[in-house]
Amino acid sequence: MYLSPMIDCFDGKVISWSIGTRPDAELVNPMLDAAVETVASNDKRPVVHSDRGAHYRWPGWLSRIADAKLIRSMSRKGCSPDHAACEGFFGRLKTELFYPSNWQSTSIEQFIQALDS
């Protein structure tokens, strides 16, 4: 299970997210499209900071970023502080949602519903 969130570094809120079974374009494109819709009326150019996953480096992703007039930033290799907002989000998510529950018999749909609530 892969979760791809877009976090607002100003207030730590999740702007958009998507979930999938593989780290690929089908995972990250819907998340980016939803985030772009959220900031479309804003005249500022948000920075999209990602880790070094291939799904964040493929040409289709790069053209989507450019078309939306976003600024792309990528973490340095092996340097998680570069994307501290997402690291903090995943830490809280694990502590508050994952660790207290047993997910072995949970379907993907049930997991998404729990994540959405």
Cα–Cα dist 18/50, whole Å: 14
Q: Return the number of other C-beta atoms located less than 10 Å from residue 90's C-beta.
A: 15
Q: What is the mean pLDDT of residues 76-102?
A: 84
Looking at the structure of the chain, the number of domains it has is 1
- Quote the domain boundaries for residue 62: 2-116
- CATH of residue 85's domain is 3.30.420.10
Torsion of CA 78, 73, 6, 27, to 10 degrees: -80
5-34 pLDDT, tens digit each: 988 888 888 889 999 889 999 999 999 999
Amino acid at 114: A
pLDDT band for position 96 (cuts 50, 70, 90): very high
